[in-house]
Amino acid sequence: MLSTNMHKIIHELKNTNHKRPIDFPSQFEALLVTKVTSFFTEQHR
């Protein structure tokens, strides 16, 4: 279940990346960290 959600998050990130180009890898990393952090926060409530 966890891996499925991770794939979903990565898929969303890829879609976002296509719609709005990210200039620096660090911005992509920051977005990834934010998504993953919020995901885990929701899980542990």
Give the pLDDT score at 1: 54
pLDDT number for residue 22: 52
Q: What is the pLDDT of residue 6?
A: 77
The pTM of the whole model exceeds 0.75: no
| Pair 13, 28: CB distance under 8 Å | yes
**Alpha-carbon distance 39 to 37, whole Å?**
5
What's the pLDDT score for residue 21?
A: 58
Q: What is the 3-state secondary structure (H, E, C) of 1-45?
A: CHHHHHHHHHHHHHHHHHHCCCCCHHHHHHHHHHHHHHHHHHHCC
Q: Is the distance from CB of 39 to CB of 9 less than 8 angstroms?
A: yes
Q: What is the pLDDT of residues 1-45, one digit of tens each?
A: 567 887 887 777 777 655 555 555 677 788 888 988 888 888 776
pLDDT of residue 3: 75
